[in-house]
């Protein structure tokens, strides 16, 4: 899939653990982990909004589009 999830990058920049983010956005660890590893098929705008608020970032800091012809 051409959408790359950079949640782990933003979490590292903000020095926040998966447990702490899970508590802040009221999302289960397993669902957050699925999103973090790029295995999620979709994300609700409300979830994206909560994550962006918790990490003080923009949606583009978390989600990235890379076309298939530009992948390594």
Predicted local distance difference test score (pLDDT) of residue 25: 95
Return the CATH number of 3-70, one of 3.30.300.30, 3.40.50.1370, 3.90.1280.10, 1.10.260.40: 1.10.260.40
Cα–Cα distance measured from residue 32 to residue 65, given in angstroms and rounded to the nearest whole number: 20
Show pLDDT as tens, one digit a residue, over the chain (72 residues).
Answer: 689 999 999 999 999 999 999 999 999 999 999 999 989 999 999 999 999 999 999 999 999 998 877 655
The pTM assigned to this predicted structure is 0.86
Predicted local distance difference test score (pLDDT) of residue 17: 95
Tokens found for residue 12? 């590292």
Predicted local distance difference test score (pLDDT) of residue 7: 95
Cα–Cα distance measured from residue 47 to residue 14, given in angstroms and rounded to the nearest whole number: 18
């Amino acid at each position: 899939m051409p959408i790359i999830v950079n949640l782990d990058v933003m979490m590292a920049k903000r020095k926040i653990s998966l447990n702490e983010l899970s508590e802040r956005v009221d999302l289960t660890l397993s669902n957050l982990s699925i999103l973090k590893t790029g295995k999620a098929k979709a994300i609700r705008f409300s979830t994206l909004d909560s994550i962006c608020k918790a990490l003080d970032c923009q949606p583009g800091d978390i989600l990235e589009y890379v076309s298939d012809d530009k992948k390594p």
